[in-house]
Amino acid sequence: MLFDLFKATVLGIVEGLTEFIPVSSTGHLLLLEHFFGFDDDAFGKAFVVLIQLGAILALLSIYFTRLWTIAMALPSDPAARRFVIGVLIAFLPAAVIGALAYSHIKAVLFNVWIVCAMLIVGGFVLIWVDRLELKPRHHEATRFSLPMYLGIGIAQCLSMVPGVSRSGATIVAAMLLGADRRSAAEFSFYLAMPTMLGAFVYEVYKSRAELSGSNTVIIAAGFATSFVAGWIVVKTFLDYVSRHGFGVFAWWRIVIGTLGLIGLALAR
C-alpha cells in the first residue's frame, strides 16, 4: 500500500509538471513505467486517466475568470465568438483522428523506443525554432486568424505519437505561423482544455469497467499532486518562456531521450 501511494504521488507530480510544458507527459509516464516499474496494475489502468483530471482542473481554475468573461461576451462580441470557433477548429483534427485511430495508436505507437527518439527529435526542433530570427505578428492568443488556428490544430495531431508533446507541437506551429512565444504558449493552454477534457471523457468511457474497483486513497494522492504540480507550472510557464525561451525544455528532452536509448540498448 505504501509503495502504491509513493508511485501514485510520483506519477501525479510527473503528470502535473509535464502536461503543459513541451516535454511530453505521456512519454515521461511511459518511461517511468518501463524503467522503474511504475505501472498502474495495482489500481487499474484508469488511474493515469483520473489523475490527469487534476492537471485539467488546475488549468481551468487559473483560467476560470478569463473563460467566464469570454462566455459572457459570446452573445454580443464577434471577437469572442470568433475565438471560440477558432479553438473548436484547432481541436477538431486531433479529435477526429484520435477517435478513428485510437486502438492503432495505442497498439503501435506506445513504444519506449519511439518515445525516446521523439524526445530527442523534438528537443532539436525546439532549439531550432528558438534560434530562428522570427518576426512575430501575433501577440494575443485570442486574436489569431482562423487559418492559423487550423494549422495549429493540424500540428497537434503529431502529438498522438508519444514523446512528441501536445504543447510542444502546438507552440512550435503557432510560432512558425507568426505568434510570439507567450501567445503561442498561452494558446496551447486554451487548446489543452477541450483536448484534454475530450481525451479524459473518452478514456473514462473506455475504462469504465475498472472505475468501481479503484483505490480511492491512491487515486486521491495522484490527483492532488497532479493538481498542485500542474497549477505551479501553469502559473509560471508563460513568464518563463517569455524571458528565457525553450532551451531548458529542449535539452531536458534530449538528455532524457538519450539516457532512455542507452538504457534500452543495455537491457537488450
Q: DSSP characters for 204-222?
A: HHHTHHHHTT--HHHHHHH
Torsion of CA 89, 92, 93, 94, to 10 degrees: 130
What integer pLDDT is reported at residue 208 of this predicted model? 65
Residue 28: partners with Cβ closer than 8 Å, 6 or more residues away: 14, 18, 256
Q: Name the nearest CA neighbour of 42 among 211, 208, 205, 214.
A: 214
C-alpha cell at 57: 482542473
What integer pLDDT is reported at residue 212 of this predicted model? 54
Residue that is written with C-alpha cell 526542433 in the block: 125
What integer pLDDT is reported at residue 164 of this predicted model? 95
What integer pLDDT is reported at residue 211 of this predicted model? 58
Low-confidence ranges of the chain (pLDDT < 50): 42
CA dist 223 to 5, 145, 198, Å? 11, 36, 18
Question: Whole-angstrom Cα distance, residue 264 to residue 113?
Answer: 8
Structure confidence by residue, pLDDT tens digits, 223-256: 899 999 999 999 999 999 999 999 999 999 999 9
What integer pLDDT is reported at residue 42 of this predicted model? 47
Q: Name the nearest CA neighbour of 27 among 119, 124, 120, 157.
A: 119
C-alpha cell at 37: 516499474
What is the pTM for the complete model shown?
0.92
C-alpha cell at 230: 500542474
Q: What total of structural domains would you count in the chain?
A: 1
Question: Whole-angstrom Cα distance, residue 125 to residue 170?
Answer: 13
Question: Whole-angstrom Cα distance, residue 188 to residue 179?
Answer: 12
Q: Of how many residues is the chain composed?
A: 268
Residue that is written with C-alpha cell 475504462 in the block: 207
- CB-CB contact of 222 with 170 (8 Å): no
What integer pLDDT is reported at residue 142 of this predicted model? 95
C-alpha cell at 250: 529542449
Q: Coil, strand or helix: which one is 80?
A: helix
Q: Coil, strand or helix: which one is 138?
A: strand
Domain limits at 224?
Answer: 2-267
CA dist 133 to 11, 81, 151, 256, Å? 37, 33, 21, 27
Structure confidence by residue, pLDDT tens digits, 24-41: 998 999 999 888 876 655
- CB-CB contact of 167 with 24 (8 Å): no
The pLDDT > 90 percentage for the chain reads: 70
